[in-house]
Structure 1
Amino acid sequence: MARRLNVLVTDDELPALEGLVRMLREDPRIAQIYAAGSGIEAIHALEQHAIDAVFLDIHMPSLSGIDIARMINRFANPPAVVFVTADETKALEAFDLKASDYLLKPVDDARLVESVRRLCEGREDPVNAPPMVTVEHLGTSRLIKREDILYAEARGDYIRLHTADASFLMRVAMAELERQWSDADFLRIHRSYLVSVRHIQNMRLGTAKGSVWVGGAELPVSRRSLPLVRGLLERTRVRAQR
């Protein structure tokens, strides 16, 4: 059996803190559990103990979970971070801070088991672990691989993320998603669509409008985005050697 995890649980609400500690004690992959009732206590625990993963509440006085995650990112060997919160609006910011997971309160037993599994896998192969995205599906939160997302579609205050076999909701502005995924080859082709370049199958580009096919869906290319899509076409064109 692989070495078990030493974890830190941080929450300023005692019932939530004790509940998560109790659930983690039942997992055989967990070794030592440290508990902190504030951000300051969490920092002290991180300085004193060898910790593999931190379960962080986001909204705490003085030092929030986001503040602590920023500090952890500056460590030479940072522990994995799992946010545990009732706030579903911070998921994108959390993964921008390289969070391993994002659990919504009240935490489901099966969802926590899955989170620990991902922590163990990430520790075994941290370099090749694919970026994950927290999404809403059938009233619950789950993780999907970003590389499986074909395109994102704006739906009011939400974004619908489409994969080959399902679609999922995320509460985030399209402009923010475009900014954070710009280095992952996602291209804004329309005010309502952000597509994964690697999943584009076909293009049809006219002088004033165009279309791309992604996962069998035909998506419009706006006049403003035509130069970007044409540039992509030129960059990927195979040219004969002279």
Structure 2
Amino acid sequence: MSGLNALAIDDEAPALDELGFLLRHCPLVDRVEGASSAEDALRHLQREAFDVVVADIRMPGLDGLELARVLRHFAAPPEVVFVTAHEGYALEAFEVGAAGYLLKPLDAGRLAEVLTRVRAARSGGTAPDDLATLAVELPGRIRMVARNDVEWVEASGDYVRLHTVDGDSALVRIPIGLLEERWSEHGFARIHRGHLVALGAVRELRTDGTATYARVGTRDLPVSRRHVHDLRERLVRHAGHRRR
């Protein structure tokens, strides 16, 4: 099928130039237009059709979230992907139907993943399982890390560190809260503000005095008090499913 027609939106000229550059060099994209505000973007959208709008969230006047709400009323709305320096809008973004939420500085691999889902949705096909594989950008290469290979996740500022079954780790710029939301139905549980674990990787759950720990591989990860009950229940259900 043909590539995507994309509209890039950012009120800061350097950020708009970078976003346009990445989109133009993505093989999934055929054409790119740029807009410096949501109002400017609406003028573009009234003149021509776009498959995807890639927009900043915090902009003067109409912001990205408000723009997405307006687009939902279009007869044939484009998909919306947010690009922002702020982690805290993720839930609001997906409430307005965003197809993706990417943190600045932009990762070309993650952008390609999201646009792959967008193209599948626009073609009427089935989009790949969201975040089933994460692209880790390394010097001169991109490493693909499958969700099934991850044993536990550690929050690290604006990033998460994925700890895999082979004992390796990889740093990805994505909110741990978003991974929790998308991976929960695939056997992952939040056990602490800074930790997410694969239920199948938990070898033991033990209490030492007032503290509770989950043994994952050779590591004892702390389980916060508010997560203990839910983790116990999910481990029992997970074990029951595996015996069937």
Question: Please, what TM-score do these two structures have when normalized by structure 1?
Answer: 0.65
- Tell me the equivalent position of 2:102: 102
Kept in 2, the 8 Å contact 1:158–1:171? The answer is yes
Say how many residue pairs are matched.
228
CA RMSD of superposed structures (Å): 4.5
Distance 1:16 1:130, change over 3 A: same
Residue of 119, 133, 150 corresponding to 2:115? 119
In the TM superposition, what is the alpha-carbon distance from 1:62 to its structure 2 partner?
0.8
**Separation (CA, whole Å) in 2 of partners of 1:8 and 1:78:** 13
Distance 1:49 1:146, change over 3 A: farther
In the TM superposition, what is the alpha-carbon distance from 1:3 to its structure 2 partner?
0.7
Q: Which stretches in structure 1 are left out of the alignment for 5+ residues?
A: none
In the alignment, structure 1 residue 49 sits paired with structure 2 residue 52:
no
In the alignment, structure 1 residue 166 sits paired with structure 2 residue 158:
no
Q: Deviations over 1:222-241 (max 9, x none)?
A: 555443233223323449xx
- Tell me the equivalent position of 1:153: 154
Distance 1:128 1:236, change over 3 A: same
**Separation (CA, whole Å) in 1 of partners of 2:49 and 2:34:** 14
In the TM superposition, what is the alpha-carbon distance from 1:217 to its structure 2 partner?
3.2
Distance 1:158 1:83, change over 3 A: closer
In the TM superposition, what is the alpha-carbon distance from 1:53 to its structure 2 partner?
1.5
- Tell me the equivalent position of 1:35: 34
In the TM superposition, what is the alpha-carbon distance from 1:60 to its structure 2 partner?
1.5
In the TM superposition, what is the alpha-carbon distance from 1:25 to its structure 2 partner?
4.7
In the TM superposition, what is the alpha-carbon distance from 1:119 to its structure 2 partner?
1.4
Kept in 1, the 8 Å contact 2:90–2:101? The answer is no
In the TM superposition, what is the alpha-carbon distance from 1:214 to its structure 2 partner?
3.2
In the TM superposition, what is the alpha-carbon distance from 1:51 to its structure 2 partner?
1.0
In the TM superposition, what is the alpha-carbon distance from 1:162 to its structure 2 partner?
2.2
Kept in 1, the 8 Å contact 2:8–2:20? The answer is yes
Q: Deviations over 1:104-129 (max 9, x none)?
A: 35x68xx28x7357514541366442
Q: Deviations over 1:140-175 (max 9, x none)?
A: xx99666665333355x5564323132426586x7x
Counterparts of 1:1-242 in structure 2, within 5 Å, are 2-14=1-13, 16-17=15-16, 20-21=19-20, 24-25=23-24, 29-72=28-71, 78-85=77-84, 87-89=85-87, 92-93=90-91, 96=94, 98-100=98-100, 102=102, 104-105=104-105, 111=108, 115-116=111-112, 118-120=114-116, 122-124=118-120, 127-132=126-131, 149-154=150-155, 160-164=160-164, 165-168=168-171, 180=181, 183-184=184-185, 185-197=187-199, 199-205=200-206, 210-214=212-216, 216-222=218-224, 224-238=226-240
Paired amino acid for 1:129: P
Distance 1:228 1:12, change over 3 A: closer
Distance 1:22 1:221, change over 3 A: closer
Paired amino acid for 1:152: V
Q: Which stretches in structure 2 are left out of the alignment for 5+ residues?
A: none
Question: Please, what TM-score do these two structures have when normalized by structure 2?
Answer: 0.64
Q: Identity percentage over the alignment?
A: 30
